[in-house]
Amino acid sequence: MKCFVNTGAMLSWLAVAILLGGAWMQPARAGGDDPYPEFVAGYDVMLNGIKVGSAKFSLSHLRGNEYLYRSEAARTGVAGLFGAKPAQESSRWRLTENGIEVLEYRARHPGGDDDDNSHLLFDHEKLRVANRGAGEQWDIAMPEGTLDSMVMQLAMLFDLRDGKQVFEYPVAVRGRIKHYRFERAGEDTTELPLGSYRTLKLERKDDDRDKSWIWSAPELNYFPVRFIKQKSSGLKTEILLRELRFLPPAQ
C-alpha cells in the first residue's frame, strides 16, 4: 500500500446542507441549467479507526456548460509528521444531453508514482484518451461515456438522484479502461457530525478481492456521506463527511 490514501479515486461518490456558522442551512438548488449546486465539502480519512488525513472537495461552474471538480487531501496527526505536501486532483468536464463528458483530468501526488501524477486529455470526436503527465505516455481508445476516477463520484450522485439501482462506469486509469459496477444494498442510519441521516447503501460488485461500500443521504440531495474499503489484507479505510456547504446560485 502507498503511504497515503488516494482519496480522489477512493471516494468515487460525493454532495449537501451543512452546519454553517452554527446555523442549519437547507440544501441549495442548482441554478439555471446547472446539474448540481456548487459546493465545498470536508471529509475525515481513517485507517483501521485512526484518523490519518482529511480531504476537501469542491464543485465550481466555470463557463457555459463547463465545470471543475477539485480535491485536496492532506495527512494529519502522526502521519503528517512524515511530511508530504497535499495531494491534489481535478476534473474539468462539461454537461451534455448524455450526461458528464470529461475534458481533462489532473493528479498531483507528491511522493506517489507516475500514475499518481497523470494528466489525461479526452478527445470525444476521436473517442480516445491520452496521458500527457508523468512517466509513460499512452493513448488508447475509449467507449462513449468514459470518465476519470474522480468525476465518477458526481456521475454516481446524479444517477442516485435519478433513481437508478445499478451503476456502471467505464473509467480511464493506468493506461486502460476499467469498468466499475455498483448496486443498491439496502438502507442504513448514518451518524455524522452534521446529525443522523437515513442513507442508501451501495456496494461495489466488480472487485473480487476487496469490499467497498458507499452511503448516500437523500435528505442531502444524495450527497455521499460515508465510504468504506475493506481490503483482503485486513486494512480498513473509512472516509466520513465532516462538513458541507452549498454556494448560492450565481445571479
Per-domain boundaries in the chain: 7-246
Contact 135, 120 (CB under 8 A): no
- The pLDDT confidence band at residue 183, using thresholds 50, 70 and 90, is very high
Reference 71, options 9, 16, 17; nearest CA is 9
For residue 33, report the phi and psi dihedrals to the nearest 5 degrees: -95, 10
Q: Output the CA–CA distances (angstroms, integers) from residue 152 to 71, 91, 188, 201, in the order listed.
A: 13, 10, 23, 17
The CATH architecture to which 7-246 belongs is: Beta Barrel (2.40)
Of residues 233 and 2, the one with the higher pLDDT is 233
Percent of the chain with pLDDT over 90: 68
**Averaged pLDDT score across all residues of the chain:** 84
3-state secondary structure of 122: strand
Q: What is the mean pLDDT of residues 126-154?
A: 94
Is the pLDDT at 11 greater than 50, yes or no? no
Is the pLDDT at 44 greater than 70, yes or no? yes
Q: What is the mean pLDDT of residues 29-52?
A: 83
Q: What is the pLDDT of residue 238?
A: 96
The amino acid that residue 184 corresponds to is R
**Grid cell listed for 209:** 478481492
**Grid cell listed for 14:** 460525493
Is the pLDDT at 19 greater than 60, yes or no? no
Distance CA 44, CA 19 (A): 16
Q: What is the pLDDT of residue 77?
A: 56
Of residues 64 and 251, the one with the higher pLDDT is 64
- The pLDDT confidence band at residue 247, using thresholds 50, 70 and 90, is confident
The amino acid that residue 212 corresponds to is S
Is the pLDDT at 154 greater than 70, yes or no? yes
Percent of the chain with pLDDT over 70: 82
Reference 24, options 232, 220, 205, 188; nearest CA is 220
Q: What is the mean pLDDT of residues 78-84?
A: 48
Q: What is the pLDDT of residue 62?
A: 96
Of residues 101 and 113, the one with the higher pLDDT is 101
Q: What is the mean pLDDT of residues 118-128?
A: 97
Q: What is the pLDDT of residue 84?
A: 60
Q: What is the pLDDT of residue 127?
A: 98
Q: What is the pLDDT of residue 12?
A: 37
Q: What is the pLDDT of residue 1?
A: 32
Q: What is the pLDDT of residue 24?
A: 29
